[in-house]
Amino acid sequence: MDLSIIIVSWNTRDLLAQCLESVFKEVSDTSTLATAHCPPTTEVFVVDNASTDGSAQMVRERFPQVHLIENHENVGFARANNQAIRISTGRYVLLLNSDTLVLPNALAQMVAFMDAHPEAGIVGANVLNVDGTPQFCYGKFPSLIPETFLALGLNTHFPFSLWFHPQVGVDQAFIETDWVAGAALLVRRATLDQVGLLDESYFMYSEEIDLARRVQCAGWHTCVVRDAPIVHLGQQSSKQMPAVMKAQLFRSKVLYFNKHHGRMVGALLRFIFGATVIVKCWTYRALQRTSLAELWSETWRYFESERK
């Protein structure tokens, strides 16, 4: 098997259907293969994390060729992906979000790049917004100062934006980077055999950055391929429980810093996140923006509950 595609889904039935349609159109449509070969043998896995919207039934009825794994509880992104990785057989494994659309030749270009660059352990797609503009899909490994800017909301302001929103130049076929987004991440099987699977300590968020760090430490390279476009709607699962997901994001970042920078730095980052959440609660209450104040108040409750 050349390519194993793994899609983890939680209550995104209609988006999952669109994603699978785009995948199977790309795999079966040889007219898109003018510049690169399509993987001749591809298998597709869907891991459903206890959805209540009929996602699993939709997959069984409309896509019987899919290997469906139905979990009885939401086990998180890392653990769900690992379930499928362990039983997949492809030379390459593509982690693909359920709220993505694979555009023509994207899969072929990613596999062709891997075949041509044996030093590459991870390859990311050129992730786009719906309007075709580039999405923040790769970057440098996190460090304390940039994470502080991010917590303060300065990541969209120059010059801080240069750190958080690098872009592929028009004359670059690919760019080497530290990490790529897990929305469309292709990893070499041999790389996984060497460094291990996703760290299941992360329920959601930062697991792909953790993997990329281990991949780099093992001597492999991580790249983004410009000619492999994939549209990512973004936050289609997380927006269903925004406060929980914000708290989960902070938790995962702290876990990453504890693991790779030491517990003292992790504790400092946790303090920064906690202070930021509290300040936002107070600020929105003072401005009488009740819904936002409640959102951040609920985020604080979930964030603090992780310590117990």
DSSP string of 262-307, one letter each residue: -HHHHHHHHHHHHHHHHHHHHHHHHTT-HHHHHHHHHHHHHHHHTT
What pLDDT, on a 0 to 100 scale, did the predictor assign at position 243? 80
Residue 243: exposure state from Cβ atoms within 10 A (0-12, 13-18, ≥19): middle
| Alpha carbon 183 to its chain's center | 4
What pLDDT, on a 0 to 100 scale, did the predictor assign at position 43? 93
State which residues of the chain have pLDDT below 50. Answer: 31-36, 168, 238, 308
What pLDDT, on a 0 to 100 scale, did the predictor assign at position 187? 98
Question: Dihedral, CA atoms, 96, 101, 103, 109, nearest 10 degrees?
Answer: 0
Paired residues of 42 in beta bridges:
3
Tokens standing for residue 174: 């690919």
Of 38, 22, 20, which is closest to residue 108 (Cα–Cα)? Answer: 38
What pLDDT, on a 0 to 100 scale, did the predictor assign at position 32? 47
Q: Which residue has the tokens 């409309």?
A: 62
228 touches 126 (CB < 8 A): yes
